[in-house]
Amino acid sequence: MKQKLQRILPEVTKPARYTNGELNTCHKDWDSVAVKMALAFPDVYEIGMGNLGFKILYHIINQRDDALAERVFMPWVDFQQWMLEEALPLTALESGQPLKKFDIVGFTLQYELSYSNIIKMLDLAGIPRWAQDREEADPIVIAGGPCAYNPEPLADFLDCVVLGDGEEVIGELLDIIKDCKAQKLTRQETLLRLAQVPGVYVPSFYQVEYYPSGEVKAVHKLHDQIPDKIQKRVVVDLDQAPYPDQMVVPFLQTVHDRVMVEVMRGCTRGCRFCQAGMVYRPVRERSVETLKRQARELLDSTGYEEVSLTSLSTGDYSCVQQLVTDMVQECSARGVSVALPSLRVDSFSVKLAEEIQKFKKTGLTFAPEAGTQRLRDVINKNVQENDLYEAVRGAFSAGWFQIKLYFMIGLPTETEADLDGIVTLAKNVLNIGREILPKDGKKPTVTVSVSSFVPKTCTPFQWEAFNRQEVLLEKQAYLRKHLRHPGLKFQAHDVQTSYLEAVFSRGDRRLGQVLAKAVDLGCQFDGWTEHFKYDAWMQAFAELGIDSEFYAYRERKAEEVFPWEHLDSGVSRRFLWYERQKAYQGLTTDDCRFTSCTGCRVCQELGVENRLQGGESSGR
């Protein structure tokens, strides 16, 4: 096999995707380790290697003497062709062992458009794609990540799904599988034991009943011992949670190719469209001291030239000023730069960015999300128009000259006035730039980037309909027309891919057949424009007689049983419904970090709380 690989590698693009041997990889003796887990990322190496959760799990598992974790990514199409010709199965990087030989294959569910790749990877590995067809010797196929809150379209392919923070569960999972192996328990017995671990969902133990209309009637559990509802797992004290002190340093340039420290997890701003803002609650922060130590250790072990202060909204970290000041001081002494990947729309954040980026100021990105105050109130994006103007004024004054503004179209209650609002905001920002920037220097440019709102599970907008494709295209055309202006640029996200995302994000188990069919029709790498085959997808739906519009365009009834009803993020359905009502009244909800409890129930349900590191609150 190794010889075959040597033959193939010179022929393919970016062979370093498949070679392994990068710095800080962990190579264990295959035969002396009790439990073997392949961490599978259903996209190419360069994307997967940027994923923080992947790095954390790799570290935790390999810390154990009785377990090993190895990496595997989706091979690019040219490599797949060679695999086919040379009859090579999909193998893990570190040992080169076929995936089929692992005890566990764990997929990360990052986005709906990678589902086809999961099935393709199982096919390439020679692991039966349908869970029910797997035999005793086949690996247990598990999945986790943000899309785990509705894994139903993948339910028939996965043996189990983990809800919530992986570092909480992974140890128990490995212990059980190790024990089951030692006791020679059957696959079914093993799964039954796993299904009793809090946070672990075994889809085959739950049966879904539908109404003739196609809506879900009920979800029935098939064993008494297992819970009716699977509740997510939460790291209570992130500051004490395990974190890698070394990370694999890829040879290839990957996304987020730098030291990442996770400043905090969770966000309670409460944007009503945002799934991450709901499912990662509550907010748990690491201390400045811990973060500095972690950055130091990682810089020593990797040699990276940049540290990124990662979180959903680092500007909201309670000690952000101190963290940035300390980190910049420490890093600049060793020639390392600091990056702040997520910027809030206010002048405070711009000042932070300025502190970090003393040189090379080109572009800054802000996300007002909607064009008018009315619509921003509807989605609970608590950004005032003046916050944005203050922020860009600060940015232009500090020397930045390219501003990118992110918006969504197709949001609930949107009208033409909201589209006009986007145009007005963009033009006002451009004018501020022209006022501030010296006439003889760089000219300001404002890029308006527009994506289509996709209703997500576990959010107040989970009941909403996705805008019809033709409507979204009209809206894009309208914006394109009105943003045709010197200094303004317009980018719009592809509507067909968003449509597919909308179908699968709230899909049910019946979509599994469609997924399988689509893969058979050649669908893979759906997130890659050059590989996205919309027509093949539509053919798959048609052949199976499944109406994709039922999933995308239908507004859900208030009391409707959702396909993911038995999966619990901790945020109560009542709260989400209440938030939706408030949205339609244009009422905003405060951030519970800065005011009082807003009643989402996550803390009460899970026995946790927001854990801030104190210091002066940076919020408004």
Partner 1 sequence: MADSIRMRFCVGEPGRFISHLDVLRMVERSVRRAGLPIEYSEGFNPIPKMAFASALPVGITSEAEYVDLKMKTAVESGEATAALNSVLPQGFQILEAVNLPERSEALMSIITTAQYQIKLLQAVPGLETRITEILDQKEISILVKRKNKTREKNIRELIDRLTYDDAANSIFLQCACGLKQNLRPMDLLPFLGLSIGDVLIHRTALLVKTAEGALLTPFEAVKG
Q: Rounded to an integer, what is the distance from CA 9 to the centroid of its chain? A: 31
Give the helix ranges, DSSP H, for 437-572: 469-482, 495-505, 511-520, 534-544, 548-552
Q: Binding of partner 1 at residue 399 (CB under 8 A)?
A: no
Residues 276-305 that bind partner 1 (CB under 8 A): 299-305
Cα distance between residue 40 and residue 139, in whole Å: 13
Q: Binding of partner 1 at residue 185 (CB under 8 A)?
A: no
Q: How far is the CB of 252 from partner 1 (least distance, A)?
A: 6
Cα distance between residue 467 and residue 409, in whole Å: 9
Cα distance between residue 561 and residue 551, in whole Å: 14
Q: Binding of partner 1 at residue 72 (CB under 8 A)?
A: no
Binds partner 1 by CB under 8 A, chosen from 135, 137, 359, 616: 359
**HEC profile of 362-390:** CEEEEEEECCCHHHHHHCCCCCCHHHHHH
Q: How far is the CB of 23 from partner 1 (least distance, A)?
A: 4
Q: Binding of partner 1 at residue 441 (CB under 8 A)?
A: no
Binds partner 1 by CB under 8 A, chosen from 213, 253, 529, 596: 253
Q: How far is the CB of 337 from partner 1 (least distance, A)?
A: 9
Sign of CA dihedral 347, 589, 144, 134: negative
Dmax (CA) for the chain in angstroms is 77
Comparing CB distances to partner 1, the nearer of 223 and 334 is 334
Give the helix ranges, DSSP H, for 379-494: 385-398, 416-436, 469-482
Binds partner 1 by CB under 8 A, chosen from 74, 249, 383, 429: 249
Q: Binding of partner 1 at residue 251 (CB under 8 A)?
A: yes
Comparing CB distances to partner 1, the nearer of 7 and 434 is 7
Q: How far is the CB of 18 from partner 1 (least distance, A)?
A: 8
Q: How far is the CB of 8 from partner 1 (least distance, A)?
A: 8
Instruction: From 7-15, 214-222, 234-242, 310-318, give the range in contact with partner 1 by CB under 8 A.
Output: 7-15
Cα distance between residue 504 and residue 147, in whole Å: 10
Q: Binding of partner 1 at residue 544 (CB under 8 A)?
A: no
Q: State both tokens at 53.
A: 């959760």
Binds partner 1 by CB under 8 A, chosen from 8, 160, 195, 345: 8
Amino acid at 603: C
Burial class (CB in 10 A: 0-12, 13-18, 19+), 251: middle
Instruction: From 5-13, 144-152, 403-411, 497-505, give the range in contact with partner 1 by CB under 8 A.
Output: 5-13
Comparing CB distances to partner 1, the nearer of 168 and 257 is 257
Comparing CB distances to partner 1, the nearer of 360 and 557 is 360
Comparing CB distances to partner 1, the nearer of 16 and 521 is 16
Cβ(206)–Cβ(195) below 8 Å: no
Q: Binding of partner 1 at residue 83 (CB under 8 A)?
A: no
Give the helix ranges, DSSP H, for 262-407: 276-279, 288-302, 320-333, 347-356, 373-378, 385-398
Comparing CB distances to partner 1, the nearer of 140 and 299 is 299
Q: Binding of partner 1 at residue 490 (CB under 8 A)?
A: no
Cα distance between residue 60 and residue 110, in whole Å: 20
Binds partner 1 by CB under 8 A, chosen from 26, 252, 276, 398: 252
Q: How many chain residues touch partner 1 (CB under 8 A)?
A: 27
- Going across the sheet that includes 259-262, the strands are 259-262, 306-310, 337-339
Best CA proximity match to 145, nearest among 53, 62, 275: 53
Instruction: From 14-22, 260-268, 514-522, 560-568, give the range in contact with partner 1 by CB under 8 A.
Output: 14-22
Q: What's the Cα-to-Cα distance from 556 to each of 378, 493, 559, rounded to whole Å?
A: 18, 25, 8
Cα distance between residue 514 and residue 540, in whole Å: 6
Q: Binding of partner 1 at residue 485 (CB under 8 A)?
A: no
One character per residue 318-357, x = contact with partner 1 (rule: CB under 8 A): ----------------xx----------------------
Q: Binding of partner 1 at residue 23 (CB under 8 A)?
A: yes
Q: Tell me which residues touch partner 1 (CB under 8 A).
A: 7-11, 15-16, 19-23, 249, 251-253, 299-305, 334-335, 359-360
